[in-house]
Structure 1
Amino acid sequence: MVMLVVCMLGLAACGKSAAGGEEGSKQLVMGTSADYAPFEYIDTATSEEIIGFDVDLAKALGEKLGYEIVIQDMDFSGLITSLQSGKVDFVMAGMEATTERSKNVDFTNPYFRSDISMVVASDGAVQTFEDIKGKVVGVQVGSIQAEKAKELQKEVDFTVETRDRVPDLVEEIKSGRFEGVLMEDVVSKGYIKNNDNLKVISVPNNETGGASIAFPKDSELTEKFNTELAEMKENGEMDQLVSKWFGGVKSVD
């Protein structure tokens, strides 16, 4: 009887893959920060599910490579650390492959690019970039916008404050604590659409390198994902997803 129980437990254990999925399936855990619509976010009016462009793209790539994608939400500033520690298998969060980040993780080729702009109050004191002098500008912790703010401070003197989540940044504009927030154009559009008291102004040197997928150093998955990304761009699947989530915007070449 004891041997029978041991065998049954052994068979039950063998029914799971090393990645935690059922036998015959493989899972990859995707780390993201679900506060960045339309890349990844939760539409609480309909469900608690994380949706968005990155989510659809990750699942499409996973299906092509034979993986089930499991999504884990966390603050943007903790994504790279979670990837390095093995808590997640890869990161998709509209993240740019900066020189500093590339010291710690590997990135795929960029799959989408959007420039940076500044969200301000429609009737506020800031109506041009030069008006931000002496004012407070908000950026997300660890984001490319935080790096861009440092560059812009060389042109106009302003104070930078950070928050973990993008919706918190927007609330600070509404409350009057921030005079502006730096964010990607495609992300700002959603906030402008839903808030008549907000508008977008342009900032100099607003180009970005585009969003890429982050993997642990020397991961074999980096090139596999690169191959599938290139195929999706070639066959039009990428443009279909871009059109779904961003309208007429084109994916990066």
Structure 2
Amino acid sequence: MKKFLAIIISILVLSSLLAGCGKSKASSTPVNEIKQKGKFIVGLDDSFPPMGFRDEKGEIVGFDIDLAKEAAKRMGLEVEFKPVVWDGVLLSLKNKDIDVIWNGLTITEERKKQIDFTKPYLEDRQIVVVKGNSNIASKKDLAGKVIGLQLGSTSEQALNSDAETAKSIKELRKYSNNTEALMDLKAGRIDAVVVDEISGRYYVAKNPGDYKILNEDFGKQIVGVGVRKEDTAFKEELDKVLDEMKKDGTAAEISKKWFGADILTK
């Protein structure tokens, strides 16, 4: 009898150990919590044409909007677009007010300390826009001038990376979005705007003669979709879908719609 009980106990202990091992193995597999939720929420600045902005009907449209909608469809998910204050967008992501930042977000080492990114899908420059009749022709001409840029954007980092130019300017004004900065430039309240090329060129093209772009810039940057560090399974699936969209030409068609050419990274 004692021998029989010993065998039963041994079996129970072994079963418990095996169950524990199975549980440990399963828990090590990343869980796609966003996919389980059935949708993902995109945080964006809705005054950032052509990446994401409101059309004449008040609908949010743009290049990144079309990319996000196509990616969501392929992932079997719904997508919601939520305007946020750009200066606090990283906090909104970490607090789970939004699930991704998909809005021409530049990949920087500082941001990578706080969030994760998909593979880069665009390359962008930080350009200088001045009035069409301005005598500013180079970065040296910005000395003693008032410069505008978007608060919380990488435009400020790009400007500060050129210490000589940053030190020479008279004043730096920060705006909640690029549209406000460019409107102040047109009104003559500032002398130049440092802005993402993808947004700046779109705005300049929509206002022929009002603006011009300097040949010099503040360097190139790469753009990706921002995600939370813990959402590894979601990021992996999103990377896969974006790769598929590039390979089958869908992403290129979206790019041509908004830029007139395929400007996606290969």
Asked if TM exceeds 0.5, the reply is: yes
Is the contact between residue 125 and residue 217 of structure 2 (CA under 8 Å) also seen in structure 1?
no
Partner of 2:129: 119
Pick from 172, 187, 190: which aligns with 1:175?
Answer: 187
Partner of 1:4: none
Q: What SS is found at the alignment partner of 1:217?
A: coil
Q: Which has the larger radius of gyration?
A: 2
Is the contact between residue 54 and residue 93 of structure 1 (CA under 8 Å) also seen in structure 2?
yes
Is the contact between residue 91 and residue 214 of structure 1 (CA under 8 Å) also seen in structure 2?
yes
Q: What SS is found at the alignment partner of 2:247?
A: helix
Change (3 A) 1:43 1:198: same
2:86 is aligned with 1:76: yes
Partner of 2:253: 240
Is the contact between residue 253 and residue 262 of structure 2 (CA under 8 Å) also seen in structure 1?
no
Pick from 41, 55, 76: which aligns with 1:66?
Answer: 76
Q: What SS is found at the alignment partner of 2:219?
A: coil
CA distance in 2, matches of 1:153, 1:173: 23
Q: What count of residue pairs does the alignment treat as equivalent? A: 230
Is the contact between residue 129 and residue 202 of structure 1 (CA under 8 Å) also seen in structure 2?
no
Is the contact between residue 149 and residue 160 of structure 1 (CA under 8 Å) also seen in structure 2?
no
Deviation (angstroms), 1:185: 2.0
Partner of 2:176: 164
Is the contact between residue 93 and residue 227 of structure 2 (CA under 8 Å) also seen in structure 1?
yes
Percent identity of paired positions between Structure 1 and Structure 2: 24
Change (3 A) 1:103 1:154: same
| Residue ranges of structure 2 left out of the alignment (5+ in a row) | 1-32
Amino acid at match of 1:49: E
1:126-176 CA-to-partner distances (Å, cap 9, x unmatched) read 222221111111111111111101012434611322111111101221222
Deviation (angstroms), 1:205: 4.5
1:82-141 CA-to-partner distances (Å, cap 9, x unmatched) read 101110111111001211111111110111122221110111242222211111111111
| Residue ranges of structure 1 left out of the alignment (5+ in a row) | 1-17
Deviation (angstroms), 1:177: 2.2
2:220 is aligned with 1:207: yes
2:99 is aligned with 1:89: yes
2:234 is aligned with 1:221: yes
Give the TM-score taking structure 2 as reference length: 0.81
Amino acid at match of 2:187: S
2:144 is aligned with 1:146: no
Amino acid at match of 1:32: L
Which structure has the highest helix share of the two? 2
CA distance in 2, matches of 1:172, 1:89: 33
Give the TM-score taking structure 1 as reference length: 0.85
Amino acid at match of 1:232: M
CA distance in 1, matches of 2:124, 2:262: 9
Per mean C-alpha deviation after superposition, the further-off stretch among 117-126 and 66-75 is 117-126
CA distance in 2, matches of 1:109, 1:25: 23
